[in-house]
Amino acid sequence: MKAMTYRQYGGPEVVTLSEVDKPTPKPSEVLIRILATTVTTGDYRARSLNMPAGFGLIGRLVFGLTGPRQPILGTELAGIVEAVGADVINFNPGDEVIAFTGVAYGSHAEYRTMPEDGTIALKPGNLSFEEAASLSFGAMTALPFLRDKAGIKAGDSVLVVGASGAVGTAAVQIARHFGAEVTGVTSTSNLELVAALGAHRVIDYTKTDFATTGNNWDIIIDTTGTVSFDRCDKSLRPGGRLVAIQGSFAQTLGIGKPSKASGKTVIAGYVPARPEDLRYIARLASTGEVKPVVDRVYPLEEAAQAHAYVDTGRKRGSVVLTVGNRQWETTARLRTRTSKDEPPHLIPVAVR
């Protein structure tokens, strides 16, 4: 089968088209024909080994000391079940599914196997494969950080710094889902997008520093690595939590965390990928509470160009790779979304 692989760490050019063995499902696995996948900041980290401060060695231990252990990147996918192992009872050939492969990667290919009790769920019927493929990376991060680690509840006020990225767009919508009052921080060109996702207020960071507005929040979720506790201390209410999605190793270890007496907390680290969370997110997408944001679409074979765009740090939501010869369908679906109920930020792009 075709797959985009990388055999050394480096820039986008290390990602090249290869022919690799098609996987065979074990008795408890399903074989998925992938129709769409994404290039995420997770792929950028694994490809470049450019890690948040202090995580350099850990990155090598996770991804491979001398070179990549898993040559196929890709943390999320949407596709169709092609075959199931003898013990599989919950999926059938022909089922349209999404899967979050997370740190196991392996989605930038024509096929991927998944254990049936893994992070795989039926694709929401209202989403195209491109949208469905874009659903999990951001939401599988934002949901457990907001719900399980920060304990978000109705009425909380939440500031999302980096509200236009994959994690940020999911965080805005998930915080709204939990009944929070949401403020999004982004640059001028993305203000409209973040407001359309449901943010009650938006702050243009090129004009205003949220920390000098005199406002304060119960939760500040920072996806950009620009918000230290010192910077946002006065912007956190009593009991407030700073969720450092791009936290440093020191923050993850709790070094420099606020004193107990302050009543404030810094939350950083890693969240496990749970199948029930993927099903929860798929339900939110099927009711329209969470809408994936698709920025650009590239054919799988142009993954290196997609990586180069992700590397800019300026993408809005997700960058999709289509797999197989279905680009015309992709273009048509994105162009026909003209209803006013549809998000205005699905940008039709020229795909060949």
Q: Does residue 149 bind ligand NAP (CB under 6 A)?
A: no
Q: Does residue 197 bind ligand NAP (CB under 6 A)?
A: no
Q: Does residue 271 bind ligand NAP (CB under 6 A)?
A: yes
- β-pairing verdict for 2-5 and 16-19: antiparallel
Positions in 30-59 near ligand NAP (CB under 6 A): 40-42, 45
b/e code 111-144 from CB counts within 10 Å (16+ = b):
bbbbbbebbbbbbbeebbbbbbbbbbbbbbbbbb
Kindly state the number of chain residues that form the binding site for ligand NAP, as judged by CB under 6 A.
29
Looking at the Cβ atoms of 38 and 128, the one nearer to ligand NAP is: 38
Using the rule CB under 6 A, which residue among 178, 205, 249, 309 binds ligand NAP? 205
Output the residue with the shortest Cβ distance to ligand NAP.
165
The span from the CA of 286 to the CA of 191, in Å, is 25
List strand residue ranges (DSSP E) for the chain, in order.
2-5, 16-19, 29-39, 76-84, 96-100, 111-115, 120-122, 157-161, 181-186, 201-204, 217-222, 236-244, 265-268, 294-299, 318-322
Using the rule CB under 6 A, which residue among 24, 187, 287, 336 binds ligand NAP? 187
**Residues found in the chain:** 352
Binding mask 237-256 toward ligand NAP (x if CB under 6 A, else -) reads --------xx----------
Using the rule CB under 6 A, which residue among 164, 173, 183, 251 binds ligand NAP? 164
The least distance separating ligand NAP from the CB of residue 49, rounded to whole angstroms, comes to 12
The least distance separating ligand NAP from the CB of residue 310, rounded to whole angstroms, comes to 6
112 closest CA partner among 2, 200, 196: 2
The span from the CA of 125 to the CA of 63, in Å, is 34
Q: Does residue 141 bind ligand NAP (CB under 6 A)?
A: yes
The span from the CA of 165 to the CA of 316, in Å, is 5
The span from the CA of 321 to the CA of 60, in Å, is 26
Q: Does residue 165 bind ligand NAP (CB under 6 A)?
A: yes
Using the rule CB under 6 A, which residue among 4, 88, 185, 220 binds ligand NAP? 185
Q: Does residue 162 bind ligand NAP (CB under 6 A)?
A: yes
The least distance separating ligand NAP from the CB of residue 272, rounded to whole angstroms, comes to 10
- Footprint of ligand NAP (CB under 6 A): 40-42, 45, 138, 141, 161-162, 164-168, 185-187, 190, 205, 223-224, 226, 245-246, 270-271, 313-316
